[in-house]
Chain A
Amino acid sequence: MSSVISVAGIRKAYGSTIAIDDVSFDVVEGEIFGLIGPNGAGKTTTMECVEGLRTPDRGAISVFGLDPVRDVYALQQRVGVQLQEAQLQKRITVWEAVDLWASLYPKSADGRRLLEQLGLADKRDAWFMTLSGGQKQRLFIALALINNPDVVFLDELTTGLDPHARRAIWDLVRGIKDRGKTVFMTTHLMEEAERLCDRVAIIDRGRIVDIDTPPALVARHCPERTVLLTTVDAGAESRFRAIRTVDAVTRADARYTIRGRGDDLVTEVIRCLSDHRIHVTDFRTETPHLEDVFLKITGHSIRD
């Protein structure tokens, strides 16, 4: 797998605010790569440097071997861009926008089909200002796809959307990947990153803290697993304590909380239950998520 985007040690300051510093990562062909972090972490700054819309103070960026600042016009032919918080003219119609964008590239996708696929066919003649939040975002996806790009940039695509619209957008993003395109996205929603991204880079206060697949990040930073079960078996507690991967067992009446580490914990608890014929009336497991990873490695919640 070859890398499509390669970012090495970029830094960008606005006056005395250092927005990003020493940011490095690679985006591999065909993957959905997510840059995740709280508000003001530097996601947009990083992404817009890669798009050639901002110039980093230092460091190097290459997209298909092109320099985003020097070769911006060559790059634009091969990438599709959705910007955070950018609008269109209030009274431009959906079709006029698609038609204008299509006219700007030497070869373009079929706008009509694109609108159909994105569920905007019946909004063709609607003014931009009359669209719902989800419809506006879908129009921006259409504009980002109009030139059949190899890489698509999506900056906080689902912010401000209700859960239903958000899920619909997630399906569309998976669809982009299925067409063989590479997706570089940002989000501050950990659930979104977990469900969509093949790999994520966690950015906090302008610095990348770790990069990997969501399961690998969880395994590395939050190996703790928890099993919650209910049993009236008198000898159960000592049996649980004897399990190799168990760290702690707490008990409230018949309800046990078994904490341990590693993916084997759950299997071993189940084996213990079956070996000793312990009868349980309830059984649940709790696994950490990216949210917990973030808390663990940055020391603060992403929602702060």
Chain B
Amino acid sequence: MMALRHLWKLTWLELKIFAREPLGLIGTLLAPPLTVVVLGRIFGRIPTTSPRLTTFVAVDLPVFAAIFTTLNAVQSLVTIVSIYREGGILKRLRATPLRPQTILSAQVLVKLILTATTLVLIVLAGRNVIRVRLDVHLLSFSVALLFSTLSILSIGFLIASLVPTARFAQPVGSFVIYPMLFLSGLFVPVDALPNGVQIIARVIPLTYAVSLLKGIWLGDAWLAHAGDVAALVAVAILFTGLSARFFRWE
């Protein structure tokens, strides 16, 4: 009970602090919906005779925005944790009755709340742009996105545990995240990749997130994606365990 109250207090405070940084706010909350609006405007206006364009606007664009939101959450988690460590803020908080897991969970919760908010904004922005109707179950899709984000965030924690300083966090995060992105099946279907690259793609956690999000967006049943879910759970367990082992508070 106590721990939950502390968690909520710290999460709320961190959200307020986050909102005071204008650049972070714009980059996190506004960039993804704006991307949807701009790209949707450009491609959506073209008469939908081309099936490729139709899939792009109807399927790839929303999933792309969702994945972008997730990766943004990972990147900013890595950055904030390393800044907090370097500034001694983590150590300062740890010297209070706050439990270590409460301090870190608050950071994860902040990212999940921001991800959910971004998703709502994307949907609101996309409603007017994406005219191709699909039978998308928004609730299902939200759950899939939050679940994927949580799983991918555990990788962020490991990166945050290993980067030496905050200055390293940004580039290291990018070096891990962008290659993952290109192999994840978001742009090129995994099956269309060369054989050797396919193997790499299959060990990349993001691949399963993309597959799950695409499938749910297209109206697949969760059961059809049990493999993706299992993979993401395994990723979460593995990386949370590794982070717990290697996490440094100072």
Q: Tell me the A residues contacting B by CB distance below 8 Å.
A: 51, 53, 73, 76-77, 81, 83, 85-92, 96, 100-101, 103-105, 127
Contact = CB atoms under 8 A, between A and B. Distances in A.
B108 interface: no
A101 B88 contact: no
Interface in B173-188: none
B45 interface: no
Interface string B6-20: 100110011011001
Given A73-B97, A76-B97, A92-B17, A87 B9 contact: no
A74 to B, nearest CB: 10
Nearest to B6: A104
4 residue pairs, one from A and one from B, having the closest CB atoms: A86-B88, A87-B87, A86-B92, A91-B20
Contacts of A91: 17, 20-21
Given A86-B88, A88-B89, A103-B6, A81 B95 contact: yes
B248 interface: no
Given A86-B89, A89-B84, 13 more contacts: A76-B96, A83-B95, A86-B87, A86-B91, A86-B92, A86-B95, A91-B21, A92-B13, A92-B17, A96-B13, A100-B9, A104-B96, A127-B20
Given A73-B97, A76-B97, A89-B17, A103 B91 contact: no
Contact of A83 (B9, B14, B88, B97): B88
Q: Taking each of B5, B9, B96, which has the highest tally of chain A beta carbons within 10 Å of its own beta carbon?
A: B96
Given A73-B97, A91-B17, A91-B21, A100 B10 contact: yes
A76 B6 CA distance: 16
Interface of B: 5-6, 9-10, 13-14, 16-17, 20-21, 84, 87-89, 91-92, 94-98
Given A91-B20, A92-B13, A92-B17, A104 B89 contact: no
Given A83-B91, A89-B89, A105 B17 contact: no
A166 B223 CA distance: 67
Given A92-B13, A96-B13, A100-B9, A87 B95 contact: no
A77 B21 CA distance: 34
Contact of A53 (B5, B9, B84, B95): B95
A83 B92 contact: yes
A84 to B, nearest CB: 9
9 contacts: A51-B95, A53-B95, A77-B97, A86-B92, A87-B89, A89-B89, A91-B17, A104-B98, A105-B97
Contacts of B87: 86-87
Contacts of B88: 83, 85-87
A31 B20 CA distance: 43
A49 B13 CA distance: 30
A81 B97 CA distance: 12
B68 to A, nearest CB: 25
Nearest to A52: B95
Contacts of B20: 91, 127
Q: Taking each of A85, A89, A90, A96, which has the highest tally of chain B beta carbons within 10 Å of its own beta carbon?
A: A89
A90 B98 CA distance: 20
A92 B10 CA distance: 11
Contacts of A81: 95
A51 B91 CA distance: 12
Nearest to B9: A103
Contacts of B96: 76, 101, 104
Contacts of B10: 100
A64 B243 CA distance: 34
A90 B92 CA distance: 13
Contacts of B94: 53
A92 B6 CA distance: 17
A87 B93 CA distance: 10
A214 to B, nearest CB: 29
Nearest to B96: A104
Contacts of A100: 9-10, 13
Contacts of B13: 92, 96, 100
Contact of A88 (B9, B16, B21, B92): B92
A273 B95 CA distance: 60
B231 to A, nearest CB: 35
Nearest to A153: B95
Contacts of B5: 103
A200 to B, nearest CB: 24
Contacts of A83: 88, 91-92, 95
Nearest to A85: B88
A83 B13 CA distance: 22
A77 B96 CA distance: 9
Contacts of A87: 87-89, 92
Contacts of A51: 95
A156 to B, nearest CB: 13
Contacts of A96: 13, 16
Contacts of A86: 87-89, 91-92, 95
